[in-house]
Amino acid sequence: MFAGGVWASAQAPSGHADSPMVHDPVIACESGKYYLFSTGQRLFSLVSDDLHEWKSPSSVFKEVPQWAMDSVPGYKGHTWAPDIIFHNGRYHLFYSCSTFGKNTSAMGHASRSTLSTSSDEPWVDTGAVITSHPGDDYNAIDPNVVIDYDGKPWMTFGSFWGGIKMVRLKDDLSSVLDGENPVTLCTRLYTPADERPMPKENSVEAPFIMKHDGYYYLFVSYDYCCRGLKSTYKVVVGRSHNICGPYVGRDGRSMLKGGGSLLISDTPEHVAVGHCAVYDFDGRTVFIAHGYSREKNGESHLVVKDIRWSDDGWPEIDS
């Protein structure tokens, strides 16, 4: 077991305090403060009182978990796509260890009873939740953990390869429930092909599930990130009464056949908004993501927007 230090000093994410440079952001709220976690060396974190001004940049871990470097050749601590959830009295942090273009990957888990930057309590790292290797039809990155309406924990994850997967977790969230195998929630490659042309690659990743009014809503990012102003990311969403799907868009098309309703892509300030998370905070439904700044020549910056719900129960960006 690795007891990771917390809030280690780190090079600050640059950019303005109200638009920091981040990638793959997620947020948790504790005692009126918002804690943001994002991709970075040993994971970056920021703190805000209002979701607007961000401060206290830091790295989560003082050192990289040795198990991750042993498991993923080429991984040197630049840690991707975290997720954060409060469950059974602890904050559970999930993170991705991988290298570009390969599915030799692992998703780790650490927990702590508080997010406060003034506490010296360490993150207790329990190692890998799921790993993937060449030959697997999934890539073990981009975790998102959700507790279903019956109180059962699930992890959805995936990037390219066989698409977006889901597995049931044990109640302590540190490992997969015995006997569980991943099920597919979303793919853009399917057989037989129908009237909708398929992409050359299964360009879908970054799942996030939220509960709302009896439904589960699955948000994913289609197409490509990480190319600055040439990025093509877009967020689509589908919903289901069953956490394991099938998820469908507004038009009824299944996300198992590349479906989903477009939520956001380009804005006047950013191109390719994607890798989102969606939360209910103090009566607001808040959408967060990163987008590539037109003004800053394609730097990846934080995007925060409100979501409104349509009369028929679909999320829409409130402009």
Catalytic residues: 24, 205
Residue 81's nearest CA partner among 262, 311, 290 is 290
Strand partners, 303: 289
Write phi, then psi, for 230 (nearest 5 degrees).
-95, 0
**What is the distance between the alpha carbons of residues 315 and 313, in angstroms, rounded to a whole number?**
7
* Residues 84, 224, 218, 154, Cα dihedral to 10°: -40
Q: How far apart are CA 240 and CA 90, in angstroms?
A: 28
Instruction: Determine contact, residues 99/134, Cβ cutoff 8 Å.
Output: no
The number of beta carbons lying within 10 Å of the beta carbon of residue 150 is 6
Cα distance between residue 234 and residue 270, in whole Å: 12
What distances in angstroms separate CA 138 from CA 4, 187, 188, 280, one per listed residue? 28, 11, 13, 30
- CB-based contact 142:158 (threshold 8 Å): yes
Give the pair of three-digit tokens for residue 145. 């953990």
DSSP, res 248: B
